[in-house]
Amino acid sequence: MNTGNPDITGSAWVCGDIHGELSVLQVALRDSLMYRKRNAKVIGEKVEEAHMILLGDVGLGFPDDPAGEALVRKMNRLAEMFRTTVYLIRGNHDNPAVWDRARNSASLPQQDDEHPRVVFLQDGPILVNGRRFLVIGGAASADVEFREEGRDWWEEEGVRVQSAFRGGGDWTGYYGILSHAGPRPSIVNPELPTMFLAAKDAIDREQVVLGAIGNALLPSVWYHGHYHRNNVDFRYFCNLSDAGEGELAEDSCVMCICTCLDIGAATPIL
């Protein structure tokens, strides 16, 4: 299956939600550049190019910029300044139609001459330095009661498992997951405030789906945003599909490093 996601080779980073705030993205890009300068093998050596993957809630598709074109152009200029290519995963504060248009109309990978340093990542596999990751966009919104459909909320906002495996695909050989929603961090209270209870069922279902994906893929690492927290948890995932009664094969369970990134927080991919 070809999702159009390009292979990434070199200095690869992930960044939490930016919600359309270019100043937040600028700080992440600057920190990445400073890190690369400090780690240059030779003083005065040209700093290597980098790749920054935004883990959703980019802030694309709102009424003041329905196609996201203005924001993408500005992001492209920033990326050029910091010698970085920026990759966009869809969040719940992004209009799914923007990613659908990129998938249906752009050449592969999904970038063009107007924004050569901005790439729309689609749900599905991607290779990062030779390791296979699964990209999963979307999330259920806790504040759905306070948002307006078609303006700042979209019915198709959630995780689309079927699109991640469009055309068949398989569930094997994955090193990690790159997503907007992820396993709920241990520091996040699972009990929603009363004002958000209308979203509880959707969020609970989403956690079940994400857990099932983890058990199927057995990832070693999982990077996600969404919760506006910096947190690292160690989660066990187990694939029981091939287990006999009362038995588990040695390779049927993994301990996964789940990294949740706060707004604008960035880190190199392990």
Residue ranges covered by each domain of the chain: 11-268
The pLDDT value recorded for residue 129 is: 97
CA-based R_g, the chain, Å: 18
The pLDDT value recorded for residue 2 is: 40
User: Which of the four pLDDT bands, split at 50, 70 and 90, describes residue 25?
Assistant: very high
Rounded average pLDDT over 49-54: 97
DSSP 20-38: T-HHHHHHHHHHHHHHHHH
User: Which of the four pLDDT bands, split at 50, 70 and 90, describes residue 252?
Assistant: confident
Are the CB atoms for 96 and 110 separated by under 8 Å?
A: no
- Fold of the domain built from segment(s) 11-268: Purple Acid Phosphatase; chain A, domain 2 (3.60.21)
The pLDDT value recorded for residue 142 is: 92
User: Which of the four pLDDT bands, split at 50, 70 and 90, describes residue 243?
Assistant: low
Query: What's the pTM value of the predicted model, to 2 decimals?
Result: 0.92
Residue 64, both tokens: 């003041």
The pLDDT value recorded for residue 240 is: 78
Rounded average pLDDT over 145-159: 91
Rounded average pLDDT over 185-197: 82
> Can you tell me the distance from the alpha carbon of 133 to that of 148, in angstroms, rounded to the nearest whole number?
33
